[in-house]
Amino acid sequence: MQYLEAERNFSGHTLKAYASDICDYALFIQNKDASFVLAGKYDVREYFALLNEKQLGKSTLTRKFAAMRTFYKFLILNDFTKTSPLASMSGPKKEKKVPAFLTEDEMRNLFKIPDLTTRDRAMIEILYSCGLRIQELVGLNLKNIDFISGCVSVRGKGNKERIVPAGEMSLYAMREYIDERRAFGLPSDINSPAFLNTHLKRLDQRVARRVLHNWFIKAGFKKKVSPHTLRHTFATHILDRGCDLRSVQEMLGHKNLSTTQSYTHVTIESLKRIYEKAHPKA
């Protein structure tokens, strides 16, 4: 775990999941009176057969396989073993889900909520304008928002920094929130957290989720909506309006283009509409 945190820059959430996954595998190996080093690919197949019987989701199985593969790479790196039983194996294929998103009308309804506070409006604007993850949002400091260039510097997964353009409305909402803080004598220097809680400390991710969830309910959304839905909505809307996939990949901070490609379903729908309008025999 120290290696994954220090050398690989894994997030706390991933570290916790990987630790649990390796512990589960360790119990299986222990019950077979074997060891990590002596276990072969048939043991691994037996282990995943047992996991399949538990009817775990494809994403969970994929993560467990990734955790074991990373663990064996660590064992090889530190000369505990020379080979990995997973070397010649391909992991479970993760099911591709179409990301849930809000329509442009639904986004407009969200911003029309009469009692939407200045802080929470700014949070929603930045999430939607920049396509941030919730942990990236609460991790922002005011110095990360450049009002002159109209960009936000974000510290994403793997501690990697990326620069994302911010729309005029999101920057305007942030200015209003900062002006409100200054008017009440609240922390507003450049090193202050971008979003404060009631104790004038950095807003916690868990609290931010709960606050945003309440606004989603007030907006009258019938479907399940989370802060991550706004990230999906950002990608969907800009692709639908003609943004290229590579640019979206950069803005979202995706390592692989295949991850970004899950949003192209909307682009296809947009192309269909254009086709229907343009083709003589459509």
Residues 188-224 pLDDT 10s: 999 999 999 999 999 999 999 999 999 999 999 988 8
Q: Which of 202, 218, 228, 265 is catalytic?
A: 228
Cα separation, 174 vs 21, whole angstroms: 41
| DSSP code at position 98 | P
Given 181, 231, 232, 237, the catalytic residue: 231
In eight-state DSSP terms, residue 202 is B
Q: Rounded to 10 degrees, what is the CA torsion of 64, 66, 67, 68?
A: 90
Tokens (6 digits) for 65: 């396989």
263 in active site = yes
The C-alpha atoms of residue 150 and residue 172 are separated, in whole angstroms, by 11
pLDDT at 27 over 90: yes
133 is catalytic: yes
Catalytic hit among 64, 119, 133, 237: 133
Domain ranges within the chain, ordered by starting residue: 2-77, 104-276
Which CATH code, of 1.20.120, 1.10.150, 1.10.3470, 1.10.4100, is assigned to 2-77?
Answer: 1.10.150
151 has which bridge partners?
146, 165
* Percentage with pLDDT > 70 across the chain: 93
| Beta pairing partners, 161 | 155
Which CATH number is correct for 104-276, 3.90.1150.10, 1.10.150.80, 1.10.167.10, 1.10.443.10? Answer: 1.10.443.10
Look at residue 146 and tell me whether its pLDDT is greater than 70: yes
The beta-strand segments (E) located in the chain are 145-146, 151-155, 161-165
Q: How confident is the model at residue 234 (pLDDT cuts 50, 70, 90)?
A: very high
Mean pLDDT of 235-252: 87
CA 268/CA 239 separation, integer angstroms: 10
Active-site hit among 119, 121, 237, 254: 254
pLDDT at 201: 96
Is residue 13 among the annotated active site residues? no
E strands, 72-204, in order: 145-146, 151-155, 161-165
| Mean pLDDT rounded to a whole number for the chain | 89
Higher-confidence residue: 275 or 97? 275
Catalytic residue among 157, 162, 202, 218: 157
Using CA atoms, how far apart are residues 221 and 230, in angstroms rounded to an integer? 13
Report the SS3 class of residue 119.
helix
Choosing from 25, 47, 72, 263, which is the catalytic residue? 263
Phi and psi at 133, nearest 5°, equal: -80, 155
Q: How far is CA 139 from CA 153, 154, 203, in A?
A: 11, 8, 9
Closest C-alpha to 120, from 184, 231, 182, 194: 194
Question: Given pLDDT bands bounded at 50, 70 and 90, which one contains residue 119?
Answer: very high
The CA distance from 28 to 46, in Å, is: 10
Task: Please state, in angstroms and rounded to a whole number, the distance separating the CA atoms of residues 213 and 228.
Answer: 11
- Residue among 208, 223, 221 nearest 109 (CA): 221
| Residues 43, 62: Cα–Cα separation, whole Å | 17
